Amino acid sequence: MEKQEKRLQELAPELLEKKEAEEKDIFEFIGIREHEKVVTAFPPEPSKYPHIGHAKAIIVNYELAKRYNGTFILRFEDTNPEMVEADFYDMNLENYTWLGIKPDRIDYASDYMEEFYKYAEKLIKDNHAYVCSCPQEAIKENRKNGTECEHRYSLPEKNLELWHEMSKARAGKYVLRLKGHMQSPNSTLRDPVIFRVVDKPHPRKKKKYRLWPNYDFESAIMDGIEGITHRLRSKEFELRNELQRLIQTMAGFRETKIYEFARFNLEGTESSGRIIREKVQKKQLIGWDDPSLTTLVALRRRGFLPEAIKEFVLSTGLTKTEAVLTWDDLIVHNRRMLDAKCNRYFFIENPKEIKVENAPEQTAELKLHPEHPEKGLRKLRTKDRFYVAEKDFKEFKDGKLYRLMDCLNFTKKKNNFVFDSLEYEKYKQKGDRIIHWLPVQKDLIKAEILMPNKEVKKGLAEPMARNLKVGDTVQFSRFGFCKLDNKKSDKLVFWYTHD
């Protein structure tokens, strides 16, 4: 806990102050003037599950628009039929809605195909683009070497004729290339392909179109059409900014102001959609919601709160400096929020039965939440037999005084356990450890907890846990926060959130 609080002190010291401090304006460096128009966007490709890095990008763009009473657009960049999948539209919307994102407008780039064609023809007529029939490998090699091909010098009239022919040609015969700067040190400017033929049907447009824009053209033109004034995005796109601004200028749009921040993910976690997809197919991961992942579906299923994710990503700021972020950096935010709201219960892992000699029969009353008495009590009727966790059982030492939490004190004498007293004050004088427990009775519930490493912890939970609903997160005392994932006829299945 000390380590995590120290880390929070480094990342966001204001969160540890008892008196709420004024929120730091992480957007101050942008220098937006009063009444300046602000239109931001976040453009997911509907081809994979978003992860915490995407969460940061959408949150900072959304918050920037909100801060300055601007407009936020959620744009699906769905102009690559070879990657786009129908299911990912709704899935992305669901995940971003869960994060608390309420876009002012939702756009689909595939709805703007006629606009893309119009601007492509403008670039061709203005001698800023040309149709190339070089083989793909030749284009790649020429771009690498900064070598211009003969098609670069074709007249606009000829290129326009070939452009119209492209829509009927076989895939791969022609591509439309931007006339950039073939000797530029920024290789993205070396006459990139901006349109190609794709025959795969599109999830929304089916076979209506064959000419599809590449990412940089689509993104630049959509920014212009939507009037995007500011974009905040990961610096992995930094080299593409110059190209996209060049396309905007050629098309006659005002340039979008772009600001980069450091790539964002947690140390030791996989964020590559391609690699995750392969591991899911090989059964190395449960799915895109595997508890080891930082996809939003995984974080949600484990019990992370959207408010904690938002607070965490904003606390990291918008610096370009790479920082090593860990699970603990996220957990410290989530724990504070869960701790304030989650009811407490007992879960006994690998239960061991003990008999406490001379223990009085009583009804132990335990608060559902230590700081919220209005939540009520859990009542457990006890006699002299109890279940304790195997780990605690193995660590009992002769002559030491132990306390069953909110119940009684006992000592171990050789192989026996003997009642000592009921009072907590007595335990405070010379007690060794307070442990959680359950009475030995028939109505206890079998419970399993899936850990992030896929290990399954098995044990017993108290009877009141039967009242939990799937999706509820609780704190199992001395074990950690867990979210109920499934209620079966013979057991409850939880996912471990964190300690």
* Predicted pLDDT at 18: 38
Q: Quick one: pLDDT band at residue 372, thresholds 50, 70, 90?
A: very high
> Residue 21 has what pLDDT?
39
Closest-CA residue to 192 (of 205, 208, 181): 181
Question: Domain 343-499 - what CATH class?
Answer: mainly beta
pLDDT at 24 > cutoff 80: no
Buried b (16+ CB within 10 A) or exposed e, 443-474: ebbebbbbebeeeebebbbbbbbeebeeeebb
DSSP class per residue in 114-145: HHHHHHHHHHHHTTSEEEE---HHHHHHHHHH
pLDDT > 70: percent of the chain: 95
pLDDT beyond 60 at 262:
yes
Q: What is the C-alpha separation between 161 and 174, in angstroms, rounded? A: 12
Q: How far apart are CA 232 and CA 238, in angstroms?
A: 11
Q: Please write the tens of the pLDDT for every residue from 79-129.
A: 999 999 999 999 999 999 999 999 999 999 999 999 999 999 999 999 999
Nearest to 464 by CA among 430, 441, 481, 480: 441
Segment 392-450, tens digit of pLDDT: 999 999 999 999 999 999 999 999 999 999 999 999 999 999 999 999 999 999 999 99
Residue 240 to residue 218: CA distance in whole angstroms:
12
Q: Residue 273 — very low, low, confident or very high, per pLDDT cuts 50/70/90?
A: confident
Q: Are strands 401-404 and 416-421 parallel, antiparallel or unpaired?
A: unpaired
- Lowest-confidence segment of 22-26, 49-53, 359-363, 439-443 by average pLDDT: 22-26
| pLDDT for 406 | 97
22 pLDDT tier (thresholds 50, 70, 90): very low
| Cα(360)–Cα(380) distance, integer angstroms | 13
Q: What is the pLDDT of residue 400?
A: 96
Mean pLDDT on 445-474: 98
Tokens of 497: 């959130």
Distance of alpha carbon 152 from alpha carbon 128, whole angstroms = 10
* pLDDT of 71 strictly over 50: yes
Predicted confidence at residue 20, as pLDDT, reads: 40
Query: How confident is the model at residue 23, as a pLDDT?
Result: 53
Beta bridge partners of 108: 76
- Average pLDDT for 447-474: 98
Position 272 scores a pLDDT of: 87
What confidence tens digit (pLDDT) does each residue in 155-203 have?
999 999 999 999 999 999 999 999 999 999 999 999 999 999 999 999 9
Q: What is the mean pLDDT of the chain?
A: 94
Q: Global pTM? A: 0.90
Checking if the pLDDT of 461 tops 80, the result is yes
Classify 22-341 by CATH class: alpha beta
DSSP letters of 415-461? Answer: TEEEEEES-HHHHHHHEEEEE--EE--TT-EEEEEE-TTS-EEEEEE
Is the pLDDT score of 1 beyond 90? no
pLDDT-derived band at 34 (thresholds 50, 70, 90) equals confident
Domain assignments of the chain as residue spans, ordered by start: 22-341, 343-499
Higher-confidence residue of 227 and 3: namely 227
Res. 283: pLDDT tops 60: yes
Q: Whose structure tokens read 């926060």?
A: 481
> Rounded to whole angstroms, how far apart are CA atoms 222 and 43?
10
Cβ within 8 Å of residue 158, ≥6 positions away: none
Query: Using CA atoms, how far apart are residues 294 and 493, in angstroms rounded to an integer?
Result: 21
